[in-house]
A and B are shown apart, each in its own frame.
Chain A
Amino acid sequence: MKRLIAGTALALIASASTAVADDSVSACLITKTDTNPFFVKMREGAAAKAEELGITLNSYAGKVDGDHETQVAAIETCIANGADGILLTASDTSSIVPAVQQARDAGLLVIALDTPLEPIDSADMTFATDNFLAGELIGKWAAATLGDDAANAKIAMLDLAVSQPSVGVLRDQGFMTGFGIDVKDPNRWGDEDDPRIVGHDVTAGNEEGGRRAMENLLAKDPMINVVYTINEPAAAGAYEALKSIGRENDVLIVSVDGGCPGVQNVADGVIGATSQQYPLLMASKGIEAIANWAKDGSKPEATEGKGFFDTGVALVTDQPVDGVDSIDTKEGMDLCWG
C-alpha cells in the first residue's frame, strides 16, 4: 500500500513537472454556472475540441447566475496558471472588464462567449448568437403567422430580469422590430408606446417565473394572444398559466434558445417557433481561436458587418411562413442542446 501511494505521488510529481516543462497550449473556460444545460453543452463542446487539438482545458463556473466574485477569482487563477487564453461567459458584463484587462495585459487571449462584455471590445473577440436577429426571426414569424390580425395583436413580453441584461434586451427589441413595433430606445425595453404591447414582466428564465409573469399579464388583459418569451423554460411556464384558463390553443408563444425540451415543445405545439442558438459551436470555435493565438498570435476576426463573431441562429418551427427561413423540428432536434 505504502509503495502504491509513493508510486502514485511520484507519478503525479512527474506528470506535474512535465506539464510545467513543456509548452503545451492551455485554455480556461469560465461559465456563469455549471448546472445550466446551455453551459454544460458549452463545456462539452470546448472539452471535445480541446482534446482533438491536444489543448489542456480547465473549466470554472460561478456558483449561481450572477456570481461575479467566483468568475474574477477564476480569471486570476488562469493568469497564475499561465494559460494561453480564456473563454468567458460573464455574469456581470461591465464589472468583469478590469479582470479581463488584467488577463489581456498578461498576454492571454480573452474571448467572450454568448454574452458580449460592456463595452464589447473589452474582450479580444465575442463568439455569440446574434440575439437581436434571434428575436427578429420570431417577431417576423409571429407577424406573418397572424397575418392581418397582427395589427390588433395583444402581446405579452416575458423578459429576463429587471436589470435588463443585454441578452434579454436584444431578444426583446429584436422581436418587436421583427413584429413591426417602434422600439424607441433600442437599449432598453419598456419605453415603447405601441398599444399592442400589454406589458412586460420578468421571469428569471425559468418555469416558475414564466408562469407567474404570464398570470400577472393575463390579469392585466385576459385577451393576450401573442406571447414573447426570453427562453423556453419561461415559455413552458407561460403555457401552464394559459392552460389554467383554457386559452392554451388560441395563443401564439414564441421563444429563443433551441434546447432539446424547447424544440420538443415546438414539435408538440406548445411553442409556435423558437430561435435556436449553438453553444457547442461557440465553445469549439473559441478553443480553435486560442490554439491559433498560441501558435502565431493571430486573433479571430469578427463576422462581416458585425462587432462579433456570429455563431449563427436558426428559426425552428413546423409551420414555416413565407419570407422567413426556418428549419423543422426534426432538424432542430438533431442540432439541439441540453
Chain B
Amino acid sequence: MSGPDNYEAASADAANEIASFDTGKKGIVSRFHHALHTTPALVPLIVLLASIAIFGVLLGTRFFSPFALTLILQQVQIVGIVAAAQSLVILTAGIDLSVGAIAVISSVVMGQFSFRYGVPVEVAIVCGLAFGTMIGAVNGWLIAVMKLPPFIVTLGMWQIVLAANFLYSANETIRSQDIAEQAPMLQLMGAKFNVGGAVFTFGVVFMLVLVLVLAYVLKHTAWGRHVYAVGDDPEAAALSGVNVKKTLISVYALAGLICAFAGWALIGRIGSVSPTSGQLLNIESITAVVIGGISLFGGRGSILGTFFGALIVGVFTLGLRLLGADAQWTFLLIGALIIAAVAVDQWIRKVAA
C-alpha cells in the first residue's frame, strides 16, 4: 500500500457519458410519443383541455364561466376522492369494488352514531373514518396474507358492506334539516366559499389537496415507490427488499380511509345521510382511473391522470346536459372514451422507435 488510493484520478480520462439509448433523429411524432411515455397524465390532460375548449365554443359563457367550471369540480368531488383511493389500489395491480359501499357505510356510521347513540359529532366522524379504514384493512389482509384475488375479495366485501349498510340503517334517511340543526359538523365538507364567481366547497378543496399530496407521496417517498414496485412485479419488489404484504395492507387501508372521507364529503354534498346513495361509485371510480391512463395491470400511471379522468367525465356530463342532449349520449361517449383511453395506453407502451 503506497499512498492513499486515488480511484477518482484513474477515472478522470474515462468517458463521462452514462450509457444511453441511441435515439437517432427524432420526428415530432416520436418526441410526442416520448413525452406521453414519460408523463402519463399528459393524455387525459390534453383530452380534458380539448373537451373544455369544445364545450366552451359550443356553449359560450354558460359553460365557460367560473360558476359552471367550478360546478364541475363540485359534481366530481365524490368520484374524484374515491377515484384517488381506487388509483392507489389499481397501481398495485389490484382493484377495489367495495369503494362506494365503504363510502356510504362510513357516512351512515357518522350519521347514526351522532343521532342514534348521541355520540358527539366529532367522535362520530372519527368513528366513521376508522370504520372505513378497518374495512379497507380487512380487504388488504385477505389479499396480502390470505392471497385471495383482489377482485374476489372486494366483490364479496362490496355486497357484505352494502347489505350491512341497509340492515344497520334500516334504510332510513337522516334529513338535511335535522343534521344542520343538531350536527352541522357532518355537513362541513359541503361548506362553500366564493372566489370571484367561482364556488368552492371544502369537499372540493379536500379532493384537490388529497390528489396533490398523493401525487407527491407516490413520486417522492419510499412508500410511493414501493406501491409502484409491488404493482409492476411483486416478486421482484420482494427480492429487492420491499415488504409486499405490508405495502398491500397499507394501500387498501388507506383506500378505505379515503373512501370514508368521501362518505363525509357525500353528506356535505347531499345534505342528508342517505343509505341508498353512492352505489355506482365503484364503476365511476374505475372509469375515472382508466380514462386517466392508469394501467389496470398495475405499476403505471399517475394520480393526476385519475383526477383529469374524473374531470373529463364531469365536463362531458355537464356540457352535454347544457346542450340538451339525452343523458344516454353521455354514457355512450364515456364508454367510447374508456376504450380509446386503453387503446392510447397500449400505443404509448410501445417504446419509441
Residues of A within 8 A of B (CB): 35-37, 40, 64, 162, 199, 201-202, 206-208, 210-212, 215-216, 219-220, 233, 236-237, 239-240, 243-245, 261, 264-265, 268, 270, 338
**Which single member of A207, A219, A236, A240 contacts B322 (CB below 8 Å)?**
A219
Which residues of B are at the interface with A, using a C-beta cutoff of 8 A?
A: 62-63, 67-68, 71, 74-75, 166, 170-173, 175-177, 190, 192, 199, 266, 269-272, 274-279, 317-318, 321-322, 324, 326-328
Q: Lowest 6 A-B CB distances belong to which pairs?
A: A207-B270, A240-B271, A216-B321, A35-B166, A208-B277, A35-B171
| Chain A residues, CB < 8 A from B276 | 35-36, 206, 233
Q: Cβ of B190: which chain A residues have Cβ within 8 Å of it?
A: 240, 244
5 contacts between A and B (CB under 8 A): A207-B173, A210-B270, A219-B322, A236-B271, A236-B272
B189 CB to closest chain A CB, in angstroms?
Answer: 13
In the bound complex, what is the Cα–Cα distance between A234 and B173 (angstroms)?
A: 12
Most buried by B among A36, A202, A244: A244
Measured between alpha carbons, how far is A213 from B74 in the docked complex, in Å? 13
| Bound CA–CA A210/B171 (angstroms) | 18
**Judging by beta carbons under 8 Å apart, are B171 and A199 in contact?**
no
Q: With a CB–CB cut-off of 8 A, which chain B residues contact A202? A: 327
What are the residues of chain B within 8 A of A36 when measuring CB–CB? 171, 276
Q: B254 to nearest A CB, angstroms?
A: 25
Q: How far is the CA of A199 from the CA of B326 in the complex (A)?
A: 11
CB distance from A268 to the nearest CB of B (A): 5
Q: Which of A37, A211, A237, A244 contacts B172 (CB 8 A)?
A: A37
Q: Are A215 and B166 in contact (CB under 8 A)?
A: no
Measured CA separation A261–B199 after assembly (Å): 29
Question: A240 touches which one: B176, B199, B321, B327 (CB < 8 A)?
Answer: B176
Which residues of chain A are within 8 angstroms of B278 by Cβ–Cβ distance?
Answer: 208
Q: How far is the CA of A37 from the CA of B276 in the complex (A)?
A: 11
Chain A's closest residue to B68 (CB) is: A219
Task: Provide the bound-state CA to CA distance between A215 and B201, in Å.
Answer: 14
**Chain B residues closer than 8 Å to A201, beta-carbon distance:** 321, 327
Q: Tell me whether A220 and B322 are in contact (CB under 8 A).
A: yes
**Is B322 touching A162 in the complex (CB atoms < 8 A)?**
no
Q: How far is the CA of A35 from the CA of B317 in the complex (A)?
A: 29
Question: What chain B residues lie within 8 Å of A212 (beta carbons)?
Answer: 75
Asked if A216 and B270 make an inter-chain contact with CB atoms under 8 angstroms apart, the answer reads no
Residues of A within 8 A of B322 (CB): 216, 219-220
B166 touches A220 (CB 8 A): no
| B266 neighbours in A (Cβ, 8 Å) | 208
Cross-chain contact of B173 among A220, A233, A239 (Cβ < 8 A): A233
Question: How long is the Cα–Cα vector from A207 to B175 in the complex, in angstroms?
Answer: 10
Partner of B177, one of A207, A219, A265: A265
Residues of chain B lying within 8 A (CB to CB) of residue A265: 175, 177
Shortest beta-carbon distance, A89 to chain B, in Å? 16
Q: Which residue of B lies closest to A240 (CB)?
A: B271
Give A36 to B173 CA distance when docked, in angstroms. 11
- A35-B166, A207-B277 given; A162·B328 CB < 8 A: yes
Contact status B326-A208, CB under 8 Å: no
Chain B residue at minimal CB-CB distance from A221: B62
Residues B175 and A236 in contact, CB atoms below 8 Å apart = yes
Does A207 contact B274, Cβ atoms closer than 8 Å? yes
Give the distance in Å from the alpha carbon of A207 to the alpha carbon of B267 in the complex. 10
| Max chain A C-beta neighbours (<10 A), residue from B68, B173, B199 | B173
> Contact between B270 and A240 (Cβ–Cβ < 8 Å)?
yes
Indicate if the CB atoms of A268 and B75 lie closer than 8 Å.
no
When chains A and B are docked, how far (Å) is the Cα of A237 from the Cα of B268? 11
Q: Which of B175, B322, B328 has the most CB of A within 10 A?
A: B175
* Smallest beta-carbon distance B307→chain A, Å: 19
Query: How far, in angstroms, from A186 to B267 measured CA to CA in the complex?
Result: 37
Chain A residues closer than 8 Å to B192, beta-carbon distance? 244
Point out which of A211, A219, A244, A265 has the most chain B C-beta atoms below 10 A from its C-beta: A219
Cα of A335 to Cα of B320 in the assembled complex, Å: 41
Q: Which residues of B contact A215 (CB under 8 A)?
A: 71, 74-75
A207 contact set on B, CB distance < 8 A: 173, 270-272, 274, 277
A159 to chain B, nearest CB (A): 10
Residue among B67, B177, B270 with the most chain A CB within 10 A?
B270
User: When chains A and B are docked, how far (Å) is the Cα of A202 from the Cα of B321?
Assistant: 10
Do residues A219 and B71 form an inter-chain contact, with CB atoms below 8 A? yes
